[in-house]
Chains A and B, each alone.
Chain A
Amino acid sequence: MKLKKYLTLTRAGIIESLQFRLGTLVIIAGNLLYLIVVYFLWKAIYASAGTDIVNGMTFSDTLIYLVLATALFNFMEMYIVWEMGRAIQSGKITLDLLKPMEYRKHLFWSYSGSFVTQFFFTFLPTFLIVAAVTHGAIRFGWNLLFFVISVVMAVSINYSIDFLVGTICLYTESIWGINIMKQVIVMLLSGATIPIAFFPEPLKTIAYYLPFQSIYNAPLSILLDGNPQLQTVLTTLGIQLFWCAAMMVLGKLFWKVSLRQITVNGG
């Protein structure tokens, strides 16, 4: 069974991440802290704005958006660039390349275990609490299904971007520099820290043409859209699908080309 070898990696990942119970607690504490800060900050902003709706979003819209964006972030952030960079620098990569599985897939499935634990430990509780607290702000209908599809694609796009950037580490020793640039760009332009609706006009347009908004902005806008049109939802999913495929192919190609370059030059 082909799937079985992938699931073995998932299982190992779950066991590994459960070893770190303190890590889990700290993640939860960190998120709570962040949410508190976000709550008061935006409350203050809305209180000073004088209107209930800023840039088309109410206070509770914004809050739900940011809370779930954080939950999604914790769920998707796998520090792939660091992992790849270290593997490349230490030479461990040669061992990984010898495994009877494509490196890109091996890495992804090794991390899939933490997707599972993170989903149950952070995303699901957060989601349920938000749904309960804001009663009614999140509609439970077809949008949930579209949201799940959208998140799956977001995970894939996020991973592909990480893998693409991680590949750059084959050329330079600067893991920190590469990673921080990626992180900064993704966090800002994906709408993870500030909803894209708040961006000034030209920046907003630019953000919509880039793949990053498909990671946080797309799934969350599908979930929170109070008056969803099938066409809008399908357009959003379509754009995601496009980026999903494009980034995957790009990542694969770049890796292939880079690896050849490196093996020829003897790294």
Chain B
Amino acid sequence: MKRKGFGFYLRIYGKILAQDLKSKMSYRADFIISTIGMIFTNIAGFLSFWILFRNFPSIQGWGYYEMLFLYGFSLVSLTPVQCLFDNNWSLRIHVYSGDFIKYCFRPINLFFYYQSEVFDIKGLGQLAFGIGTIAYSWSQLGLGVTPLMLLKLLVFLITASLIMIALQNAAAATCFWIQNSFYVLDLVTRFKDYAKYPIAIFSPVFRFIFTFVMPIAFIAYYPSIVILRPEEVPLLSWLSPLFGVLFFWGSYKFWMYGALKYSGTGS
């Protein structure tokens, strides 16, 4: 029975993913409209960014292209949560209607099984947009390209993604205890809009809060400083991959605890 390793889950995920994509394609109108919506979101986000910062050469020592890099970084690191964990948004609906229980009877990991059901392909547009923004600001900043830098970029993008995923998991799981957990999820989603600002603009008290209490500074600031300002990387940046894994693991445990606690009571 202990044969259900990583390979097993990867294979199942691949199958479900392929099927899900096939069926998504069958709702063509929805697919097109959602994609346009996603493009709109990104354009509007960029437009807001541009309107705000075009007048100012720098903000607290952060130049336009450095800000742009942060922006692009946050877009890319938000892609996994958008693509792979989108079913978290439906969680409270499944829970209130009682449908959630149907996920509890399979001999595989409940969290995996639930999340595997939806793959949100729209997120890929955001990914492309984010990569474009990073590449553009990267070249404008003249950072140069070395394998080590790319590796750093990759590691810290994954770190940032894990933290965002962790925040969303935990927020979605609140629906096992409270009504209208939508607001919690919505709140956490708004976090990501704040993540793109350099934490240097905040006063020390809030720097502390955004680092240790609501760790949004880990979504873009601490990871990307490794690339933007290699000479002044704080210890926290180097520790952030560890935090990423820890947060993710913690949120997973929380989610599972809630799921099992809940599925017993709801009918």
Contact = CB atoms under 8 A, between A and B. Distances in A.
A and B touch in the complex (CB under 8 A): yes
B105 interface: no
Interface string A169-182: 00011101111110
Nearest to B30: A174
B179 A22 contact: yes
B21 to A, nearest CB: 17
A194 B51 contact: yes
| Chain B residues touching A, range | 35 or more
Nearest to A178: B33
A210 interface: no
Given A172-B29, A199-B51, A200-B54, A26 B37 contact: no
Contacts of B249: none
A26 B177 CA distance: 14
A43 B201 contact: yes
B19 to A, nearest CB: 19
A177 B34 contact: yes
B52 A198 contact: yes
B197 interface: yes
Contact of B197 (A26, A29, A41, A194): A41
A45 B59 contact: yes
B12 interface: no
Contacts of B38: 177, 180
Nearest to B177: A22
B40 A26 contact: no
Given A23-B180, A172-B29, A177-B30, A200 B51 contact: yes
A180 B41 contact: yes
Majority SS at the chain B contact face: helix
A181 B197 contact: no
A180 B180 CA distance: 20
A185 B44 CA distance: 8
Interface string B92-105: 00000000000000
A30 B179 contact: no
A249 interface: no
B47 A188 contact: yes
Majority SS at the chain A contact face: helix
Interface in B8-62: 27, 29-31, 33-38, 40-41, 44, 47-48, 51-52, 54-60
A168 to B, nearest CB: 9
A40 B187 contact: no
Given A26-B183, A41-B197, A48 B48 contact: no
B121 interface: no
A152 interface: no
A180 B187 contact: no
B106 interface: no
Contacts of A45: 52, 56, 59
A264 interface: no
Contacts of B29: 172-174
B244 to A, nearest CB: 21
A177 B33 contact: yes
B58 A181 contact: no
Contacts of A34: 190, 194
A27 B48 CA distance: 24
A188 B44 CA distance: 7
A57 interface: no
Interface string B199-217: 0011100100000001000
Interface in B161-206: 178-180, 182-184, 186-187, 190-191, 194, 197, 201-203, 206
Given A20-B180, A181-B36, A194-B52, 20 more contacts: A20-B178, A23-B178, A23-B183, A26-B184, A26-B187, A30-B183, A33-B190, A33-B214, A34-B194, A37-B197, A44-B201, A48-B56, A176-B34, A178-B33, A180-B37, A180-B41, A184-B44, A185-B44, A194-B51, A200-B54
6 contacts: A20-B180, A47-B60, A174-B29, A181-B37, A188-B44, A200-B51
Interface of A: 19-20, 22-23, 26-27, 29-30, 33-34, 36-37, 40-41, 43-45, 47-49, 54, 172-174, 176-181, 184-185, 187-188, 193-194, 198-200, 203
